[in-house]
Amino acid sequence: MPRRPHDPTWTDDVLEAMRQLGRPHHLRDIYQRTAEVRVAAGRPLNPTYKRTISRTLQQRCPRCRTQQRGDQLFEMHGNGIWSLA
């Protein structure tokens, strides 16, 4: 079944987790909070969810080589610390 435009994505869930954390946090905290957001919403965690979260952060960070076109949502501060842009 194709995803409808309003269905939440990993980006939506990482954004919500980052909003809940409220300040720059280490990647391990972001993994945990994003997993909690997904489970609370009844969405599954895939076996590689940590890699999915890392990729999501990097694709929306202007400092990362894997940054894709679109909104620049996340900022990398180094040593595993990330925040909302």
- What pLDDT, in 10s, does the model give residues 48-65? 999 999 999 999 998 887
Separation of CA 23 from chain center: 14
- Could you give the count of Cα atoms lying within 13 Å of 20 in the half-sphere of its Cβ? 15
Fold of 10-84: Arc Repressor Mutant, subunit A (1.10.10)
Least Cα distance to 71 among 81, 56, 82, 52 occurs for 56
Ranges of each domain in the chain: 10-84
What's the whole-model pTM score? 0.87
pLDDT digits (tens, 9 = 90+) for 11-31: 999 999 999 999 999 999 999
Separation of CA 70 from chain center: 15
Tally Cβ neighbours within 10 Å of residue 74: 24
What's the token pair of residue 19? 């909003």
For position 72, what pLDDT does the model report?
A: 87
